[in-house]
């Protein structure tokens, strides 16, 4: 079955849990944004994704991208679907109107990309970096470059890539060797090789705009000697630039997206931003990309859940224990969905999807606030949220996508392992999201070492107080969440202190710390859902699953981090 977006479900979260429209329409940039517009955009997006994007997904996996003589042919239906995507104005949803965009809030783009990923992860990789490239160019590009490329990228007429990784430089970008040499006319000659370039070559657009991390001849060693250069496939005069795809990788999944080995043979390019400040310029793009990957995770998990839920309501195996289910009728076997082990899988994944949506959509709203709020304090708070929550979402949502999709596969029994039902594709496709845009281990280090500990935990503490203040201590569930938020604040201080005694410690506890944060955020999200969402019957099963089976990990991880800190501070006690 193909993925079917559910605008009604998403609206429940946006409208009742997050209050998206009142919050965003208070910003001058979105003064005309209202319920009707939001509903209309979501309904149209849902239809478009269901009718145009989802159908070619299966062929994207089975046929995949084909490489021959430097060219990549995308799977059947991908060109047409991408063309419809551009013609519908979808790539430009949240780009500024002056750049050819529609000026809508980022939160709607977030929902759109979640659905796109759920329906067709492979195809969605193509425009996945567009918005990041747009922001990067908008903030760091020269007027001339913007003139030439900004609206083409905003509208998706040309696609963009992010060329970072080299064979010996994956997580360690400081080792990048691709060279950029300045020319008399202000352009650069780029020479070197890049790997794992998603959409490095394809037949979806005429031109492809590569943003390439490289090193100038006199640059300092390491990450502070990297510059960002824009290298188009086609030069402004229409001639072919010296950038070529050497081959595409054979992968575990995501066959609908070409993962290219690229060669730059003194290709012509133009500097974006300052020399040796390439990473800073690229980070704009990477942060957008990280939230995007978190949304892929949520979308893929929802795709897996939809398949498993449908199968569990068709397939009958054995009698379920307990009271006779209404669905039994005269059947000798009960629906798979009636069996507790299967019910648990479905409700638990639903709990993750619903809870993670609250956090992810709020993060997208904070992007809007950070860009458009007139109050600098509000912008600062929103930026803090994005900086701290984005790596948490990226790691936790992608981990859950893979593990949750595997749980959903289990609902099918042996049928889950054969291709026919499409669920194993979700498992294979989703696995890469735990790796790209910074492995999940890198996200954890980014969170704890680079962000939380960089200011001694002050920023994280502020965020947790902000969350606490949105809860109602008179409500038992809210009070429980407040207690957990306080535990996390205390834990943060404990880690900060122990890290002074042992600089390796934060690297050792980063993964567990990130999980504690995510579980606290989910607990907060479920408290908000419980307090605000109508139709309690819709939410009761996943909420119960969350409290029963997901949340206990909070104490477990908290204990792991605490014991590691204690061992550092008083090694003789815990040896």
* Residues acting as catalytic residues: 437
Q: How far is CA 257 from CA 69, 113, 196, in A?
A: 18, 16, 11
Task: Work out the angle between the directed axes of helices 458-469 and 476-501 (0-180°, nearest 10).
Answer: 180
Q: Which stretches does DSSP call E strand in 69-156?
A: 71-73
Binding characters for its own copies, 405-424, by CB under 8 A (x = yes): -x--xx--xxxxxxxx---x
**Rounded-to-integer distance, Cα 321 and Cα 318, Å:** 9
* Binding-residue total with its own copies (CB under 8 A): 72
Q: Which two tokens stand for residue 274?
A: 């300052």
Phi first, then psi, for residue 187 (nearest 5°) are: -85, 180
Q: Binding to its own copies by residue 448, rule CB under 8 A? A: no
Taking CB under 8 A as the criterion, the residue among 259, 287, 348, 390 binding its own copies is: 259
Taking CB under 8 A as the criterion, the residue among 500, 563, 570, 571 binding its own copies is: 563
Q: Binding to its own copies by residue 504, rule CB under 8 A? A: yes
Taking CB under 8 A as the criterion, the residue among 31, 333, 374, 454 binding its own copies is: 333
The dihedral of CA 439, 442, 444, 446: what is its sign? Answer: negative
**Rounded-to-integer distance, Cα 65 and Cα 263, Å:** 19
Q: Binding to its own copies by residue 487, rule CB under 8 A? A: no
Binding characters for its own copies, 541-560, by CB under 8 A (x = yes): -------xx--xx-xx--xx
Q: Is the CB of 134 or the CB of 421 nearer to its own copies?
A: 421
> Could you tell me the smallest distance in angstroms from the CB atom of residue 492 to its own copies?
19
**Rounded-to-integer distance, Cα 302 and Cα 423, Å:** 11
Q: Binding to its own copies by residue 440, rule CB under 8 A? A: yes
SS (H, E, C) 145-209: HHHHHHHHHHCCCCEEEEECCECCECCCHHHCCCEEEECCCCCEEEEEEEEEEECCCCCCCCCEE
Chain Cα centroid distance, residue 550: 21
Binding characters for its own copies, 26-65, by CB under 8 A (x = yes): ----------------------------------------
> Could you tell me the smallest distance in angstroms from the CB atom of residue 431 to its own copies?
7
DSSP code of 323? S
Taking CB under 8 A as the criterion, the residue among 271, 370, 401, 434 binding its own copies is: 434
Binding characters for its own copies, 204-223, by CB under 8 A (x = yes): -----------------x--
Taking CB under 8 A as the criterion, the residue among 31, 252, 454, 570 binding its own copies is: 252
Q: Binding to its own copies by residue 251, rule CB under 8 A? A: yes
Q: Binding to its own copies by residue 439, rule CB under 8 A? A: yes
Q: Which two tokens stand for residue 118?
A: 């759920």
Taking CB under 8 A as the criterion, the residue among 317, 458, 500, 540 binding its own copies is: 317
Q: Are 381 and 40 in contact (CB under 8 A)?
A: no
């Amino acid at each position: 079955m193909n993925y079917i977006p559910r605008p009604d479900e998403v609206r429940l979260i946006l409208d009742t849990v997050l209050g998206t429209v009142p919050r965003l329409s208070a910003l001058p940039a979105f003064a005309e944004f209202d319920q009707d517009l939001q509903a209309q955009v979501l309904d149209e997006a849902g239809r478009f994704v269901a009718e145009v994007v989802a159908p070619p997904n299966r062929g994207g996996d089975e046929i995949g991208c084909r490489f021959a003589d430097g060219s990549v042919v995308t799977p059947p239906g991908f060109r047409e679907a991408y063309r419809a995507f551009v013609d519908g104005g979808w790539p430009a949803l949240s780009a500024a109107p002056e750049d050819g965009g529609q000026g809508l809030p980022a939160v709607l783009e977030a929902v759109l990309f979640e659905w796109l990923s759920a329906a067709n992860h492979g195809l969605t990789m193509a425009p996945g970096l567009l918005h990041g490239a747009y922001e990067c160019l908008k903030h760091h590009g020269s007027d001339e470059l913007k003139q030439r490329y900004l609206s083409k990228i905003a509208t998706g007429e040309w696609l963009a890539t992010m060329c970072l990784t080299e064979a010996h430089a994956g997580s360690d970008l400081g080792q990048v060797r691709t060279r950029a040499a300045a020319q008399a006319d202000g352009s650069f000659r780029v020479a070197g090789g890049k790997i794992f370039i998603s959409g490095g070559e394809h037949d979806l657009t005429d031109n492809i705009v590569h943003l390439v991390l490289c090193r100038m001849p006199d640059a300092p060693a390491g990450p502070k000697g990297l510059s960002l250069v824009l290298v188009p496939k086609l030069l402004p005069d229409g001639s072919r630039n010296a950038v070529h795809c050497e081959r595409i990788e054979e992968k575990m999944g995501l066959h609908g997206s070409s993962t290219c080995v690229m060669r730059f043979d003194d290709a012509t390019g133009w500097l974006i931003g300052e020399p040796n400040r390439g990473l800073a310029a690229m980070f704009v793009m990477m942060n957008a990309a990280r939230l995007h990957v978190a949304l892929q995770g949520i979308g893929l998990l929802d795709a897996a859940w939809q398949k498993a839920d449908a199968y569990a309501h068709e397939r009958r195996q054995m009698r379920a224990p307990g009271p006779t289910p209404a669905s039994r009728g005269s059947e000798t076997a009960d629906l798979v969905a009636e069996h507790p082990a299967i019910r648990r899988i479905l409700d638990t994944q639903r709990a993750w999807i619903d809870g993670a949506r609250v956090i992810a959509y709020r993060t997208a709203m904070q992007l809007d606030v950070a860009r458009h709020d007139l109050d600098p304090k509000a912008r600062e708070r929103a930026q803090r949220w994005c900086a701290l929550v984005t790596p948490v979402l990226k790691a936790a949502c992608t981990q859950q996508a893979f593990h949750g999709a595997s749980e959903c596969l289990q609902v099918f029994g042996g049928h889950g392992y054969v291709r026919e039902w499409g669920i194993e594709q979700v498992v294979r496709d989703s696995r890469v999201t735990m790796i790209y845009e910074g492995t999940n281990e890198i996200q954890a280090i980014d969170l704890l070492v680079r962000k939380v500990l960089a200011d001694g935990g002050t920023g994280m503490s502020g965020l947790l107080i902000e969350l606490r203040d949105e809860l109602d201590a008179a409500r038992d569930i809210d009070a429980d969440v407040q207690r957990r938020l306080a535990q996390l604040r205390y834990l943060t201080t404990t880690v900060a202190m122990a890290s002074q005694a042992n600089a390796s410690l934060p690297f050792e506890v980063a993964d567990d710390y990130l999980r504690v944060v995510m579980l606290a955020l989910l607990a907060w999200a479920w408290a908000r859902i419980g307090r605000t969402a109508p139709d309690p019957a819709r939410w009761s099963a996943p909420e119960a699953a969350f409290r029963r089976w997901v949340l206990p990990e909070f104490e477990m991880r908290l204990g792991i981090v605490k014991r590691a800190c204690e061992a550092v501070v008083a090694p003789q006690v815990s040896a």
